[in-house]
Structure 1
Amino acid sequence: MISSVSLCHGGPTLIVEKNEYTDFLKDLGKKLAPKAIVIFTAHWESEITTISAIDDTYDMMYDFYGFPKELYSVKYPAKCSVEVASKLQSMLRSNGIESKLDENRGLDHGAWDVLYLMYPKANLPIVQVSVNPEIAMEKQYEIGRAIRDLGKEDILVIGSGSTVHNLSTVDWNSDKAEEWAVEFDNWLIESMENNDTETLFRYKQLAPNAKRAVPRQEHIVPMFIAMGSGNKDKAKLLHQGYAYGTLSYICFEF
């Protein structure tokens, strides 16, 4: 049985960086050897859970602006799996969760950023899934619970987003983490390690600096889905780090 993980995809430059976090992702890819990957990406928002079901290799999406030219020529020739996509949809349906299949959308950088570092050979089937940041965290968690049995089939569920994600607070020249960002993450870590899901669901009301850390929920939603899909008794912190002052690189295994 394989566990699920919540990862931070950072900025598009992550794949050309060399630091503690990129080393961590490369090492994690060596430790986790799934048969396929289901990845919920913060960069794909839809009202209804939408599942990639492309019977071919994904097209690349360069869903970012103003970055170095080299990033717009990055290739990650991952293939989708219609079989895994159909299995995922069946699990959701059995739990009363509406979903639909998508046969056209490419792989966005919320997905390929981390996959490029973890599995550089692009030799694993990847099923990309959308998120809806407008629904309650309890519902996000239930989406994860509905697909929990994927782990029994050695299919890795990844929630790709970030905890602290407020681009208006980013300092591109800073290599020191801001105190308020660390305080928010430390609250999450403590709540996770205490397996206190009810408190986590109310993070907007209870966590310090929550409004500043999470101005929109699309980047934190994948963490709650991954948490729901986990097979461990409680979350395990895998990595904590920061870039540009406030961009969080906090990762959990569930």
Structure 2
Amino acid sequence: MSPLFLAHGSPMLAVEDNDYTAFLRDTGAKLQPAAIVIFTAHWETDVTTISSKDDIYDTIYDFHGFPDELYQMKYNAQGSTQIAELVRQLLETEGIPSGFDTERGLDHGSWTILSKMFPKADIPVVQVSVNPYLPAEEQYRIGKALRELAGRNILLIGSGVTVHNLRALRWGQKEAEPWAVQFDDWLIGKLEQHALEDLFRYESLAPNAKVAVPRAEHFVPFYIALGAGQPDTAPRIIHRSYEMGTLSYLSFQF
């Protein structure tokens, strides 16, 4: 059950039908995980925090100004205290501090893509927070601590975006801005070269890094998913497209 980095882009993904949502549906249809562990860019904490509950999550509408139909959506997935405890134990083994949250619902970094991939909401979900202030090496180490999940048929998803700058969006523009493409091309090239040290130093080495990643919260799930992958497995691009000129839907399997 190879880890995935998936772009969650606009919340409208939950109600739209386009090439990317078709990709999400097709990908989910091919997978039968026992559980899902999802790191979401929309839950930030100082210490890695794991949702621990067995009942149904509330659906969090952490966005404003969208059509009413989006606020009527529910994704009634259940949690799993058993899987949450497994995640905690694996992190603890590697000396990574963590804690539990028993109340928080699923934010749109989780439910928008999961509603397309697994519309029946019949797979237990454990949501995990990110700390965007940790260096890339530490994000990778968090993922690496969870490599064992794949062998247990547990799907780890890093939910974020590689190029995410809301001030740089070009509304209605279908063609990607060259600088956004250049940043993603650099990432892909470094992955193909297995150049981890360069990837960790993206802020100083990648072209257009400051405009592509003005703040790291949407980018760090990429490193977590990358770290969770098996070192002898080549990363694979599973989708690439752009919306509004700069919003990247580049997604990987690790």
TM over 0.5: yes
* Residue of structure 2 equivalent to 1:237: 237
TM-score, normalization by structure 1: 0.98
Does residue 252 in structure 1 map to residue 244 in structure 2? no
Q: Deviations over 1:123-162 (max 9, x none)?
A: 0000000000001000000000101000000000000000
Shift of 1:14: 0.8
AA paired with 2:44?
E
- Distance in 1 (CA, whole Å) between partners of 2:111 and 2:194 is 30
Where does 1:179-198 land on structure 2 (aligned, <5 Å)?
179-198=178-197
Q: Deviations over 1:166-213 (max 9, x none)?
A: 000012211111110001001101111222111100011100000000
TM-score, normalization by structure 2: 0.98
* Residue of structure 1 equivalent to 2:84: 85
* Residue of structure 1 equivalent to 2:3: 4
- Tell me the number of residue pairs that the alignment of Structure 1 and Structure 2 aligns: 253
Does residue 146 in structure 1 map to residue 123 in structure 2? no
- Distance in 2 (CA, whole Å) between partners of 1:193 and 1:24 is 23
Corresponding residue SS for 2:95: coil
Q: Deviations over 1:71-122 (max 9, x none)?
A: 1110110000000000000000011000000000010000001100000000
AA paired with 1:144?
G
AA paired with 2:248?
S
* Residue of structure 2 equivalent to 1:177: 176
* Residue of structure 1 equivalent to 2:13: 14
Where does 1:21-100 land on structure 2 (aligned, <5 Å)?
21-100=20-99
- Distance in 2 (CA, whole Å) between partners of 1:35 and 1:187 is 34
Instruction: Tell me, yes or no, if the aligned pair for 1:194 and 1:234 is still in contact at 8 Å.
Output: no
AA paired with 2:220?
V
* Residue of structure 1 equivalent to 2:107: 108
- Distance in 1 (CA, whole Å) between partners of 2:17 and 2:86 is 37
Where does 1:122-141 land on structure 2 (aligned, <5 Å)?
122-141=121-140
Instruction: Tell me, yes or no, if the aligned pair for 1:38 and 1:128 is still in contact at 8 Å.
Output: yes
Q: Deviations over 1:10-56 (max 9, x none)?
A: 11101221111111111110122211000000000000000000120
Runs of 4+ residues over 3 Å off in structure 1: none
Considering only aligned residues, what root-mean-square deviation do their CA atoms show, in Å? Answer: 0.7
Q: For structure 1, list consecutive stretches of 5 or more residues without a partner in the other structure.
A: none
AA paired with 1:238?
I
- Distance in 2 (CA, whole Å) between partners of 1:148 and 1:227 is 10
Q: Percent identity?
A: 55
- Distance in 2 (CA, whole Å) between partners of 1:164 and 1:30 is 27
AA paired with 1:139?
E
Corresponding residue SS for 1:187: helix
